[in-house]
Structure 1
Amino acid sequence: MTVKLDFEECLKDSPRFRAAIEEVEGGVSELETRLEKLVKQCHSMLEAGRVYCQNSKNFVNGLRELGHHCSNDSTMGECLDKFSRKLSIILDAQGEFIETTQKTVKTKLQSFVKEDVKRFKDVRKEFEKSSESLEAALNRNAQAPRGKQHEVEEASNSLLNARRAFRKEALDYVLEINVIESKKKTEILMAMLSLMDAQAQLFQQGHQALTELEEYRKRLSEEHTQLVLNSAREKRDMEQRHAAIKKKDVTYDDSIMDFNADASSGIAMEGYLYKRASNAFKTWSRRWFSIQKNQLVYQKKFKEQPTVVVEDLRLCTVKPCSEQDRRFCFEVVSPSKSCLLQADSEQQQQGWISAVQNSIASAFQDRREDTLSPRERCSSVSTGSGGVCGEQENAGCQALGEVQGIPGNGHCCDCGEPGPDWASINLGITLCITCSGIHRSLGVHFSKVRSLTLDSWEPELIKLMCELGNAAINRIYEARIDEITIKKPHPSSPRQDKESWIRSKYVEKKFINKLPETGRGPPLRRSSARRNRATTQDRQGARPVIKPKPNRATLPRLTGLSQSDLVKNYSSSSYKDEEEEDDLSGLHPGALLYRSAALQHFPVMADAIAHGADVNWVNIAEESKTPLIQAATVNSLAACEFLLQNGANVNQADINGRGPLHHATILGHTGLVCLFLKRGADYNAKDNSDKDPITIAVDSANADIVTLLRIAKMNKEMREMDGGFAQSGDETYHDIFRDFSHMASNNPEKLKRRSTDIKIP
Structure 2
Amino acid sequence: MIDTGKAFCTANKQFMNGIRDLAQYSCKDVLVETSLTKFSDTLQEMINYHNILFDQTQRSIKAQLQTFVKEDIRKFKDAKKQFEKVSEEKENALVKNAQVQRNKQHEVEEATNILTATRKCFRHIALDYVLQINVLQSKRRAEILKSMLSFMYAHLAFFHQGYDLFSELEPYMKDLGAQLDQLAVDAAKEKRDMEQKHSTIQQKDYSSDDTKLEYNVDAANGIVMEGYLFKRASNAFKTWNRRWFSIQNNQLVYQKKFKDNPTVVVEDLRLCTVKHCEDIERRFCFEVVSPTKSCMLQADSEKLRQAWIKAVQTSIATAYREKGDESEKQEKKSSPSAGSLEPGSETKEKLLKGESALQRVQCIPGNAACCDCGLADPRWASINLGITLCIECSGIHRSLGVHFSKVRSLTLDSWEPELLKLMCELGNDVINRIYEAKLEKVGVKKPQHGSQRQEKEAYIRAKYVERKFVEKQPASVSLPESGTKGLPQSKEEKRHSGPEKSLLAGEQEPSVFCDSKQPSPGLQLYRAAFEKNLPDMAEALAHGAEVNWVNLEENKATPLIQAVRGGSLVTCEFLLQNGANVNIRDMKGRGPLHHATVLGHTGQVCLFLKRGANQHATDEDGKDPLSIAVEAANADIVTLLRLARMNEEMRESEGLYGQPGDEIYQDIFRDFSQMASNNPEKLNRFQQSDSQKS
Q: What is the TM-score with the length of structure 2 in the denominator?
A: 0.58
Is the contact made by 1:628 and 1:660 (CA closer than 8 Å) also made in structure 2?
yes
Bigger CA drift: 751-760 or 704-713? 751-760
Give the distance between the partners of 1:109 and 1:460, measured in 2 at CA. 97
Q: In structure 1, which of residues 569, 586, 595 is the aligned counterpart of residue 518 of structure 2?
A: 586
Alignment match, 1:288: 182
Q: How does 1:86-97 map to 2 (within 5 A)?
A: 88=62, 91-92=65-66, 94-97=68-71
* 1:601 Cα offset (Å): 1.0
The answer to whether structure 1 residue 711 and structure 2 residue 604 are counterparts is: no
- The one-letter code matched in structure 2 to 1:334 is K
CA gap of 1:574–1:609, structure 2 versus 1, over 3 A, is closer
Is the contact made by 1:60 and 1:88 (CA closer than 8 Å) also made in structure 2?
no
Is the contact made by 1:61 and 1:84 (CA closer than 8 Å) also made in structure 2?
no
Deviations 1:459-485 (A, max 9, x none): 000111111111111221122223121
Q: In structure 2, which of residues 173, 187, 194 is the aligned counterpart of residue 297 of structure 1?
A: 187
Alignment match, 1:498: 456
- The one-letter code matched in structure 2 to 1:684 is H
- The one-letter code matched in structure 2 to 1:650 is V
CA gap of 1:66–1:421, structure 2 versus 1, over 3 A, is closer
Per the alignment, in what secondary structure is the counterpart of residue 516 of structure 1?
coil
The answer to whether structure 1 residue 334 and structure 2 residue 183 are counterparts is: no
CA gap of 1:633–1:388, structure 2 versus 1, over 3 A, is farther
The answer to whether structure 1 residue 629 and structure 2 residue 523 are counterparts is: no
Q: How does 1:182-581 map to 2 (within 5 A)?
A: 182-185=121-124, 287-289=181-183, 297=187, 309-310=190-191, 334-336=197-199, 386=319, 398-516=356-474, 552=497, 566=503
* 1:488 Cα offset (Å): 1.7
CA gap of 1:484–1:373, structure 2 versus 1, over 3 A, is farther
Alignment match, 2:283: none
Give the distance between the partners of 1:514 and 1:582, measured in 2 at CA. 21
Alignment match, 1:158: none
Task: State, as a whole percentage, how many aligned pairs show the same letter.
Answer: 44
The answer to whether structure 1 residue 689 and structure 2 residue 583 are counterparts is: no
The answer to whether structure 1 residue 678 and structure 2 residue 610 are counterparts is: yes
Q: In structure 1, which of residues 700, 705, 710 is the aligned counterpart of residue 632 of structure 2?
A: 700
Bigger CA drift: 715-724 or 680-689? 715-724
Per the alignment, in what secondary structure is the counterpart of residue 288 of structure 1?
helix
* 1:70 Cα offset (Å): 5.8
CA gap of 1:106–1:297, structure 2 versus 1, over 3 A, is farther
- The one-letter code matched in structure 2 to 1:476 is I
Per the alignment, in what secondary structure is the counterpart of residue 183 of structure 2?
strand
Deviations 1:670-701 (A, max 9, x none): 10011001111111112222222122222222
Is the contact made by 1:105 and 1:191 (CA closer than 8 Å) also made in structure 2?
no
Give the distance between the partners of 2:69 and 2:665, measured in 1 at CA. 84
* 1:92 Cα offset (Å): 4.9
CA gap of 1:658–1:375, structure 2 versus 1, over 3 A, is farther
Q: In structure 2, which of residues 532, 557, 562 is the aligned counterpart of residue 600 of structure 1?
A: 532
Rg larger for:
1
Give the distance between the partners of 1:693 and 1:704, measured in 2 at CA. 13
Is the contact made by 2:493 and 2:513 (CA closer than 8 Å) also made in structure 1?
no
Give the distance between the partners of 2:267 and 2:412, measured in 1 at CA. 13
- Report the aligned-residue RMSD: 5.5
* 1:487 Cα offset (Å): 1.3
* 1:442 Cα offset (Å): 1.3
Is the contact made by 2:576 and 2:582 (CA closer than 8 Å) also made in structure 1?
yes
CA gap of 1:454–1:646, structure 2 versus 1, over 3 A, is same
Per the alignment, in what secondary structure is the counterpart of residue 669 of structure 2?
helix
CA gap of 1:112–1:334, structure 2 versus 1, over 3 A, is farther
Per the alignment, in what secondary structure is the counterpart of residue 181 of structure 2?
strand
Give the distance between the partners of 1:374 and 1:573, measured in 2 at CA. 62
* 1:608 Cα offset (Å): 0.5
Per the alignment, in what secondary structure is the counterpart of residue 297 of structure 1?
helix
CA gap of 1:402–1:60, structure 2 versus 1, over 3 A, is closer
* 1:491 Cα offset (Å): 2.9
- The one-letter code matched in structure 1 to 2:470 is I
- The one-letter code matched in structure 2 to 1:432 is C
Give the distance between the partners of 1:712 and 1:500, measured in 2 at CA. 45
Gaps of 5+ in 1: 1-57, 127-160, 197-234, 240-253, 258-269, 274-285, 299-307, 317-331, 339-364, 520-524, 529-546, 557-564
* 1:417 Cα offset (Å): 2.0
Give the distance between the partners of 2:462 and 2:267, measured in 1 at CA. 40
Is the contact made by 2:394 and 2:407 (CA closer than 8 Å) also made in structure 1?
yes
* 1:60 Cα offset (Å): 8.2
* 1:506 Cα offset (Å): 1.2
Give the distance between the partners of 2:119 and 2:576, measured in 1 at CA. 102
Deviations 1:80-112 (A, max 9, x none): 677767874775564455654564446765897
CA gap of 1:66–1:750, structure 2 versus 1, over 3 A, is closer
Give the distance between the partners of 2:3 and 2:688, measured in 1 at CA. 85
CA gap of 1:64–1:481, structure 2 versus 1, over 3 A, is same
Per the alignment, in what secondary structure is the counterpart of residue 187 of structure 2?
strand
Q: In structure 2, which of residues 685, 690, 694 is the aligned counterpart of residue 757 of structure 1?
A: 690
Is the contact made by 1:426 and 1:645 (CA closer than 8 Å) also made in structure 2?
yes
Is the contact made by 2:364 and 2:424 (CA closer than 8 Å) also made in structure 1?
yes
- The one-letter code matched in structure 2 to 1:659 is G
* 1:117 Cα offset (Å): 8.7
Deviations 1:125-155 (A, max 9, x none): x9xxxxxxxxxxxxxxxxxxxxxxxxxxxxx
Give the distance between the partners of 2:260 and 2:357, measured in 1 at CA. 12
- The one-letter code matched in structure 2 to 1:467 is E
Alignment match, 1:176: 115
Alignment match, 2:544: 612
CA gap of 1:110–1:733, structure 2 versus 1, over 3 A, is farther
- The one-letter code matched in structure 2 to 1:754 is Q
Per the alignment, in what secondary structure is the counterpart of residue 622 of structure 1?
coil
Give the distance between the partners of 1:173 and 1:374, measured in 2 at CA. 107
CA gap of 1:486–1:750, structure 2 versus 1, over 3 A, is same
Is the contact made by 1:551 and 1:573 (CA closer than 8 Å) also made in structure 2?
no
- The one-letter code matched in structure 2 to 1:477 is Y
Give the distance between the partners of 1:589 and 1:75, measured in 2 at CA. 43
* 1:728 Cα offset (Å): 2.2
Give the distance between the partners of 2:127 and 2:475, measured in 1 at CA. 81
Per the alignment, in what secondary structure is the counterpart of residue 435 of structure 1?
helix
CA gap of 1:186–1:483, structure 2 versus 1, over 3 A, is same
Q: What is the TM-score with the length of structure 1 in the denominator?
A: 0.54
* 1:182 Cα offset (Å): 2.4
Per the alignment, in what secondary structure is the counterpart of residue 423 of structure 1?
strand
Alignment match, 2:332: none
Give the distance between the partners of 2:261 and 2:432, measured in 1 at CA. 28
Bigger CA drift: 686-695 or 632-641? 686-695
Give the distance between the partners of 2:526 and 2:134, measured in 1 at CA. 84
Is the contact made by 1:410 and 1:418 (CA closer than 8 Å) also made in structure 2?
yes
Alignment match, 1:655: 587
CA gap of 1:99–1:61, structure 2 versus 1, over 3 A, is farther
**Equivalent residue pairs, number:** 496
CA gap of 1:381–1:675, structure 2 versus 1, over 3 A, is farther
* 1:659 Cα offset (Å): 0.6
